[in-house]
Each structure stands twice: as structure tokens, then as C-alpha cells.
Amino acid sequence: MPLIESTYRAPSWLPGPHLQTIAAARLVPLPRVQYRRERWDTPDGDFVDVDFAAPEPADPGAPVLVLFHGLEGCSQSHYARAVMRAAADRGWRSLVPHFRGCSGEPNRLPRAYHSGDSAEGDWILRRVHERFPAARLHAVGISLGGNMLAKWLGERGSDASFVTAAASVGSPLDLAAGGAALARGFNLVYTKMFLATLRGKALAKIARFPGVASAEAVRRSRNLHEFDNAYTAPVHGFRDTDDYWARASGKPWLRAVEVPHLVLNARNDPFVPAASLPRAAEVSRFVHLEQPAAGGHIGFARGGPPGDLGFLPERLFRFFEEGR
């Protein structure tokens, strides 16, 4: 399917990818969202905390939206609040399942979460579908969550058809390219922010489960490649970072997707090099590629200062409701 011509244009007061990224996350006013939390016990003896946005529709057949957050994100992330607010205003049931360790409480097992954990995504989506079988089910993944979702869609093929439509936004579908980008230049500012929480969580796990990984290697990690080599890869069954990034990347799976799938990436995303983005020849006919020139990493602010985050939810719901 050919590239969609995007309607997104960055406002003139937000020039450049970094300002577009940071302003959306830190400066643009966020909508108020109230959540009701449920704790779901997982088959392996752990738990996932799931936040449902209020108000929740009384109709069990109301459309459902599941949002998978990004690296170290949660239901309070700027993109989650923007999308959840829009979903609730439309009368949809919307929820954010937290990846393990991201809900504000450590999970029970040594394992955490990773970009290719499509088995976890499968379990969550099937549980939602079983609970609301009469509802149209939609899924959106942001950044890391979108890579996981793309991989799941490709792996499952037609077996994923209980999901009506899906979207991956700002997702590093080539994890090696994204990891390399985050290891240089100004992007090290973002890397330092991620590592501040990732290292702390990993060291706490190592203290609880001695021998699961090397605390010294985690402390020495200066970028995501080194951190994933020290913790993510060995704890989750990968040989090393390169093995993890190769096996977990969603891009190779886009040819096998059989559910309508919007893949939205800003071409100036500092986390995701434009050269790594999927091309029309690399995806199935179900995949809709949209690559606006600007937007930063999950930015997409619009309007005059201080701006708003309405573009992303409007774009998602147009795709979910109209298929375009």
C-alpha cells in the first residue's frame, strides 16, 4: 500500500525534532484522566496492572481500545492521557496495561519487559477479548509498545483477526537502528533519562534475585546497547543485545500482517532514523504507512503556544472508525 500523505504539520514555534519531542512530553498541557486499576495475575505467577479510563461505558459492546505504552512509560504518559481522554469522550472503553515493573510497584519475578514480548501482548489482548466478546477491539502501541504490537500482528497473521484494527506510533521497528541513534549526540540526554530508572529497577531485581545478572555490568552501562547486554538480554533468554534486537524487531513481520495496521512515524524522530523506516514494498497490503516530515518522537503537538496533543488521538480514531 502506498504511503499516506499526512496532514500533520509542526507549528512554527516548535522547530526541530528535539523541541517537538520535549514540548509534547513536558510543556503542552495534558488532559485530565481518571483511572480505575485492576491487577491481573499472569500465568507465570506474576501480575500486570491495568488502568481503565473513566467514565467506563455501561454497554459491554462499546468499542475497546488497548494502549501499550513505550519504554518506561505508564498510563500517565502524555500520549496515554491524550488518547485515553479522547477514547472516553467518544464512549469507548479504554485501558492501559502496564508492562511489568512500570505501574509503580516492582513485579514478582526476575524478568521485566522487553520490546519483543509479543507473548505478553497476546495474553493481554486475548483476555480483553474474552471479557468483552461483543465489542470491536482496537490496539495501539507507542514506541516500544508499537514494536511489540507489530511483531505480534505479523506472528499471528489471520489469528490476530479478533482485533479489528491496530496502530504503531513512533515505533523503532528496527531496534538496532534505534539503539544506535540513541547512543550518540543530543540523544544521549534521552538515554540518560531512560537509564536512570532502568538501572535502578535492574539493580533492585539483582538484589532480590542474586545471580540473575551482573550488578557491576548494569552500573557500568552507558547506553541501551550496554544495558540490554547486561540485563535485558540475559534475563529474557537472549544471547546478547544483538540477538535480542534482531529477534525482537517488528519490521520483518510487517509483511505477514493481516489486520488493518497504521504505522505512523515522524521522519525527523530522533529515536528512529528515517532510513530505517519501512517502505511500501516491505509491508503487507493491510499495513498503512504514514510518515510526516516532522513530529519528533511521539510529539505531534499542534496549534499556537502552549499547543495541544489532539492530532494523535484524532488520527488514530479516524483510522479506527473510517479505515483510512
| pLDDT tens readout for residues 97-128 | 999 999 999 999 999 999 999 999 999 999 99
Q: 17-173+250-322 has which fold?
A: Rossmann fold (3.40.50)
Buried (b) or exposed (e) across 64-88, using 16+ Cβ within 10 A?
bbbbbbbbbbbbebbbbbbbbbbbb
| Percent with pLDDT over 70 in the chain | 100
For the chain, give the mean pLDDT.
98
pLDDT at 288 exceeding the cut of 90: yes
The structural domains of the chain, with segments of one domain joined by +, span 17-173+250-322, 175-248
pLDDT at 287 exceeding the cut of 90: yes
What pLDDT, on a 0 to 100 scale, did the predictor assign at position 111? 97
Residues classed as catalytic? 143, 269, 297
pTM score = 0.98
